[in-house]
Structures are given as C-alpha cells and as structure tokens.
Amino acid sequence: MPKVRRQETSEDVLVDINNIQDADYIETESGQVRIGCLARHADVVESETVREANPTLGEAVATIGDVQVRNRGTLCGAVATAAPAGDPPVLAALFDADIVATSTDGDTVYDGRSFYEGGSTELEETELIREVRFPALGPGEGAAYEKWKPAGCAWPVATVGAYLSTSGGTVEEARLYTGALEGEPSEMADAAGVIEGNIPDEETVLDAATRLGENAEPMADADGSVEFKRELSKKLAKDALEAAASRAGV
C-alpha cells in the first residue's frame, strides 16, 4: 500500500480480492487448520479453532504490527509477500504448512519448508495463495514462537520458532527456524540436531540455543550488530525451546 499511495508501483492493474465470497474461513479438516485468503490476522488471533489446534499460530500472529494492521492484514497475504522480517513465513516454514496456490490452471500445493528457500518464494506470478494449512498439534507435540523488537510495533530484529515432537519424554523431531535475522526464514538444523533424540533438559536446551546463535548469520544494520543479533537469538531460542518442551508435556 505505501507504494500505491505514492504511486511508485510499476504495475498498471491492481486486483482487489476483498470481494471474493466465503474466503475468510478458519476451520479444521483432517488434522489441519485451513486458513482462507481473506482471514485477517485479527481473525486468526481470536479463533478458538486455532487456539485449540495450534496455539502458537495465534500467539505469534498476535504480535504482528498493531491492532489496525491486524484488522486488515491477512495471513495468506503475509505468507505470499514474504517480508524479510515477517512472522507468517517463519510459521509456514516451521510447521511445513501446505501453501495452496491457485491460478486459472487450478491448484498447486507448496511445502512451507521449501517455499522460501533461495531468497524468494516459489509462487508464480499467475498464482494467488487461496489457503494455507497448518497442522493441528497432538499429544507430545509442542511449539513456540519468540520475537524481539527494538521498540513497540517495529519490525522484529530476531524471531525464533521451535517445534518439538516427543515420545516418552525424548525429542523425536526438533525444528528450529529463525526469522528476520537473515531476511527470510532460516532453518537451523544443526541446532535442532543438538536436541533431537535427547531429553530437552536445561543443559540441552541451552546447548541447542547457543548453537543456534553461533550458526546464525544475521546482517548488521541500524538495529544491531552481528554480535548483538546472535546473542539475542540465543535467548529467543532458549525461551522457544523451553516453551515448546513444556507444551509437549516434557
């Protein structure tokens, strides 16, 4: 919108999708939460469905922008726009969401995990994301999203998403993603590997968090040096892992 406001866009035609009927749904189906392309951030935050199926999603979206922004912005839109410090792309990658794109040729479903690799999204110019599907978490699964902003309602400097799948107190699968630090969702497999196969106790969590910070490759800018951002991400990772573990019941 800022570009439209200043007439700095290169395109000639603006397509307004706000009149598409029945596209603002949030519903569960087959173990997934399906979010329609006109569901606003505010809708996701307030949704009981989301709260029950995958509370991290609603909590994370609640931190986007401010009330006014959340009343207009859509989750699918944010997934598509892939702002460098945006939260929905990190969530889509973390949960390996099914990103349902549609065009005149029909639907294509992209995997959240690979959608952002390589600096831009896989979305074609002819496609519109009509739905994003997040997994509903079950017993033994837990996730969390931590975020640090330099001031209220500013873009975050660093975000960390954590997902744990556990069994019998041990982590079977761990996923760690950073956001904002590197301008896109970044999978921290090495750090996740520290915790996978282990009990997520204090020391292991600290190790994994430290490893994440060491591996991160943030860009220095007006909001902080590389060192600062690395240190920050350790803290966010620690908090995210602790919360995810707690939610997974371990």
Partner 1 sequence: MATTDPPEPSTHVDVQVELNGESLTRSVTADMPLSQFLRREEFLTGTHRGCESGKCGACTVLVDGEPVKSCNVLAAQANGSTVRTVEGLVGDDGELHPVQEAFWDTHGMQCGFCTPGMVVNSVALLEENEDPSVGEIREQLSGNICRCTGYTKIIESVKNAAAETEGGE
Partner 2 sequence: MSEIEHQHEQETEELDETTDSEVVGESVNSKYGRRLVAGNGEYLDDIRLPGTRHAYFCRSEVAHAEIEVETSEAEAMSGVSRVWTHDDIADLVDEPYGYMFDDEVVLADGRVVFQGQPVAVVLAESRQRAMEAAGRVEVEYDELPALTETTAALDADTPVIHPELDSDPDSPVDGNVADTGTVDVGNVDRAFEDADLIVEDTFQTNKTTPAPLEPHGCVADYNVGDRDLTLYSSSQFPHRLKQELADVVEPLDSEDITVKLPDVGGGFGIKLELFPFEVCATLLAMDTRRPVKYAVDRLEEMKAGRGRHNETLHGRMAFTEDGDIVGFEVDNEQNTGAFASHGPAVGYSSAVCGHGPYPIPNQRWNYRMVYTNIMPGSAVRGFGDVQVTFMREQLVEMAAEELGMDAIELRLRNVPDPDDLPMRSPTGLKWRNADMPVCIEKVTDAINWDTHRDADMVDGKYRGVGMGTIMKRGGNKSAAGGDYDEAIVKMSRRGELKVFSAISSIGQGTETALAQIAAEEVGVPVERVEPVVGDSDVTPEGLGVWADRGTIIGGSAVARAAEDLRETLEELAAHVLDGGVDSEDIVLKDDRAYEAANPENGMALTDLADMAMRGDPEELGPDEERPPALRDGISLVGRGKYESQEAEFLDEETGYGNVSHSYTFGALAIAVDVDPATGEVEVVDVAICEDLGKVMNPKLVEGQAQGGIVQGLGEVLLEDYAYDDDGILDNDTLIDYHPPTTEDVPLITKVEHVENPDPTTSHGQKGAGECPTVPTPAAVANAVADATGIRFTEEPLSAANVLPELVEEGLREL
Least distance CB 203 / partner 1 (angstroms): 34
Beta bridge partners, 123, equal none
Least distance CB 68 / partner 1 (angstroms): 5
> 75-134: which residues touch partner 1 (CB under 8 A)?
102, 130
**Gap between the Cα atoms of 61 and 114, Å rounded:** 21
Contact partner at residue 225 from partner 2, partner 1, none, CB < 5 to 8 Å by partner kind: partner 2
* Piece of 70-78, 99-107, 134-142, 203-211 that binds partner 2 (CB under 8 A): 203-211
State CA 229 to chain mean position distance.
19
Cβ(173)–Cβ(160) below 8 Å: no
Q: Given the complex with partner 1, which of 42 and 157 has the nearer CB atom?
A: 42
By CB under 8 A, is residue 231 in contact with partner 2? yes
Least distance CB 105 / partner 1 (angstroms): 12
**Gap between the Cα atoms of 241 and 247, Å rounded:** 10
**Gap between the Cα atoms of 140 and 91, Å rounded:** 19
Q: Are strands 158-167 and 26-29 parallel, antiparallel or unpaired?
A: unpaired
> 90-149: which residues touch partner 2 (CB under 8 A)?
148
* Piece of 40-48, 50-58, 95-103, 206-214 that binds partner 2 (CB under 8 A): 206-214
By CB under 8 A, is residue 27 in contact with partner 1? no
Torsion sign (Cα): 211, 215, 218, 224: positive
By CB under 8 A, is residue 67 in contact with partner 1? yes
- Which positions ≥6 away from 246 have C-beta within 8 Å? 142
By CB under 8 A, is residue 155 in contact with partner 2? yes
**Gap between the Cα atoms of 87 and 163, Å rounded:** 15
Q: Which of 198, 210, 201, 217 is nearest to 234 (CA)?
A: 210
Contact partner at residue 30 from partner 1, partner 2, none, CB < 5 to 8 Å by partner kind: none
Residues binding partner 1 (CB under 8 A): 1-2, 4-7, 12-14, 16, 18, 20, 23, 42, 65-69, 71-72, 102, 130, 152-153
